[in-house]
Structure 1
Amino acid sequence: MWLIGITAFLFLAYAILILFYTRSWKQIPLQVLTKTAPGTPPTFSIIIPARNEEQHIIRLLTSIKEQTYSSAHFEVIVADDHSDDSTAALVEAFITNGEGRPPIRLLSLKNDAINSYKKKAIETGIAAAINEWIICTDADCIVPAQWLQSFAETIKKTDPVFIAAPVAFLEEGSLVNLFQDLDFLTLQGITGASVYKNVHTMCNGANLAYQRKVFYEVEGFKGIDTIASGDDMLLMHKIWKCYPKKIQYLKSKEAIVRTEAAANWKAFINQRIRWASKATSYDDKRIFSVLILVYLFNFSFLVLLIAGFFNKIYFYAFLAGWLLKTIVELPFITSVASFFNKQQRLIFFFIFQPLHIAYTILAGFLGSFGKYEWKGRRVK
């Protein structure tokens, strides 16, 4: 029975954590845009690292061109990361036909033998940038028309140095897309809650902004440049250590960037392994303790399931945990889904719980000890 006692303790700790995230997410002020931002408008350099993105890059550039924010106050820099498709040619053609609004530049990475090409692409873009704020997104994203206006207003209102902002997956009818969508909603809610309460540093590289001078003040990616992933959270923590009161979360529907989910289960697991691989490199011990708790709680389900083959009481404990986990998490994900207008997808939330537990265990393990493929490269 000691196994049930340990599981109950882990559940209690996990429930307290989720309740904290739920309350914190609901407390974040929802930004409602005004017609104009007072004072001198902030200027932005949009950095887009791109590798083999011929299917997506024009869609992104078109959405950027449709910004309501004055094109006099932002530029776009596409950093081509050794693409072997038509990405660069498409960008060049878009520049030629773009009538100069907004200014778009195409840069190309040199043939450097490095482990973190994305960081190098961002770093190259920042070196060429001319504006005060760096705003990052990914080549497979779509940005809303008032995206930059949303950032500008939160900059004027809160005077931050780093802004984490919301990201959502584009919706499809497939099972893998639905599962990822629900899982990602949870991550987005935790991101907003943790940043708002300043309990640990989380963000997503598809939608964030920081002052260019602060990037250089913390020496950019120095010290984390050998890690393939982490161009977002690891940099954010470096900035947080210098400016712990200057980090903001932008809770605005007009700022939601939409991105492609993984196309299949293999790509999804590979993506989550990549995300999990950053865990051992976190300097933020606060988030590391949360990751340990979440992993152990999910791992306890596997132990209960195996033990259930020897004593059915553990199988009943597994089923009870499945139900209780859903009950605790449901208010949280319901609130987050409402912000992202994805309430209709919650009907599958209970059914996906065992799959979510299994992938958390697998991705956490392989993220610490395995290798993964990213943009056609095999990295550790």
Structure 2
Amino acid sequence: MYTAIIIVTTLLLAVYAVLILQYRSWFLRLRPFEPAPVPGAPTRFSIIIPARNEEGQIGNCLASIFGQSYPGTHFEVIIVNDHSTDRTEAVVKAWQAQHANLCLINMADHVEPNALNSYKKKALELAIATSSGEWVVTTDADCQAKPGWLSLLDAYIRQYQPVFVAAPVMFTTKGNFLDTFQLLDFISLQGITAAAVSAGFHTMCNGANLAYRKDVFYAVDGFKGIDGLASGDDMFLMHKIKQLYPNRMGYLFAQGAIMATAPMADWRSFINQRIRWASKADAYQDRGIFRTLALVYALNACLFLWLVGSLFFTGGWVPWLIFIAIKTLVELSFMIPVSKFYGHLPAMYWFLPMQPFHIAYTVVAGWLGKFGSYQWKGRKVQ
């Protein structure tokens, strides 16, 4: 059994190394977006922010949005208060007194507190139905945008005429172990997202920094067919739009467009977040994504079993460490250029020491995402 694990791990690592080096090649081909003068009126945006118990974060989010260099006459902000039990509603109303283009929707007026499995999709649907912009922009209540965010998005839309635009997201960090662990994990996800776009595949995106035409949302029947899934308001919608408009998908690769968001505050929240992400893995219609996720999980599961087996077989530690070294070097060749783009190169010093923790977390989160349940925003989700 132990020998079989070593053989399988060797084969998986070889395939994985080729894949990561391919991602590196794709990422290095990307060039940051440079706006070009395009005649015409600025795009009108409807920025939609679902919020549940975000009184401590939403003020900073709104400050970053209303601090945009973009004309306030060409965007509106719609907050959907998802049954918050804190002062989220009061904070938003205080901002409403200062900004006429800020709208508040209370989900409690439309949906009972325990009636759905995906409240975020319902929040987006409610907001889109009342929106006046030609483009819908989604972000989260704990995010903060750079001042030129909307201007870059407008320039990209007018220059390339897409119907869907994904853009980069990155965690902030206080430098502690948990923040750094999440940062490294998220850098890899964002790097793969960008690399896949460079290769011509739109396989991943993040709802914290997403834009799509309102008419296109309705052209693909919105979240119909995916509204029963607790997660996936971003990627599953992207795949629906991609099927109808395969040549009009965009990715705004620009440092000024990076949306900053805070990592999870504790390990429990972090694991629940990753279980939520992992829970949608087998629902992807794009089998390429599923195969990649399966490869990553299988490799980490084998390394984990090998590590456990090393406790009972003399000398098992040495080859395991060699494999970890090879895996780390291959991943760093990809992670270093990605972390440079996001301004987090110093975090790479922690990459090797965190490998054992990352292997264990991948195995646990992947397993529970398939067979377990999780708590999210105070709700238990199956």
* TM-score tier (shorter): over 0.9
Given the alignment, which residue of 205, 223, 241 partners 1:203? Answer: 205
TM-score (norm 1): 0.96
| Aligned counterpart, 1:140 | 142
Cα deviation code 1:13-57 (max 9, x no counterpart): 1011101111111112211345x5432322111000011111011
Deviates more, 1:302-311 or 1:180-189: 302-311
The within-5 A match list for 1:1-380 is: 1-33=3-35, 37-98=38-99, 100=100, 103-109=101-107, 110-112=110-112, 113-380=115-382
Consecutive unaligned residues of structure 1, counting only runs of 5 or more, are none
Runs of 4+ in structure 1 over 6 Å off: none
- Contact persistence 2:45–2:135 (CA under 8 A): yes
State the distance in 2 between where 1:274 and 1:175 align: 22
State the distance in 1 between where 2:197 and 2:122 align: 26
- Secondary structure of 1:319 counterpart: helix
Aligned residue pairs total 376
- Secondary structure of 2:268 counterpart: helix
Deviates more, 1:106-115 or 1:368-377: 106-115
State the distance in 1 between where 2:312 and 2:380 align: 41
- Read off the aligned partner of 1:55 and give its amino acid letter: G
- Contact persistence 1:4–1:314 (CA under 8 A): no
State the distance in 1 between where 2:337 and 2:197 align: 17
Cα deviation code 1:222-260 (max 9, x no counterpart): 111111111111111111111122111111011010011
- Secondary structure of 1:15 counterpart: helix
Identity over aligned residues, as a percent?
47
Report the CA distance between 1:60 and its aligned residue: 0.8
TM-score (norm 2): 0.96
- Contact persistence 2:48–2:124 (CA under 8 A): yes
Cα deviation code 1:113-158 (max 9, x no counterpart): 1110011101111101111111100001101100001111111222
- Contact persistence 1:200–1:287 (CA under 8 A): no
- Contact persistence 1:56–1:140 (CA under 8 A): yes
- Contact persistence 1:51–1:81 (CA under 8 A): yes
- Secondary structure of 2:352 counterpart: coil
Cα deviation code 1:199-239 (max 9, x no counterpart): 35200110011111111011001111111111111111111
- Secondary structure of 2:375 counterpart: strand
Cα deviation code 1:335-355 (max 9, x no counterpart): 111001111111111100111
Report the CA distance between 1:70 and its aligned residue: 1.1
Report the CA distance between 1:5 and its aligned residue: 2.4
Report the CA distance between 1:306 and its aligned residue: 2.4
State the distance in 1 between where 2:313 and 2:248 align: 53
State the distance in 2 between where 1:312 and 1:240 align: 52
State the distance in 2 between where 1:376 and 1:319 align: 40
State the distance in 2 between where 1:257 and 1:300 align: 35
State the distance in 2 between where 1:123 and 1:196 align: 31
Cα deviation code 1:44-92 (max 9, x no counterpart): 1100001111101111111111111111211111111111111111111
State the distance in 2 between where 1:248 and 1:196 align: 10
- Secondary structure of 1:312 counterpart: coil
State the distance in 2 between where 1:365 and 1:170 align: 27
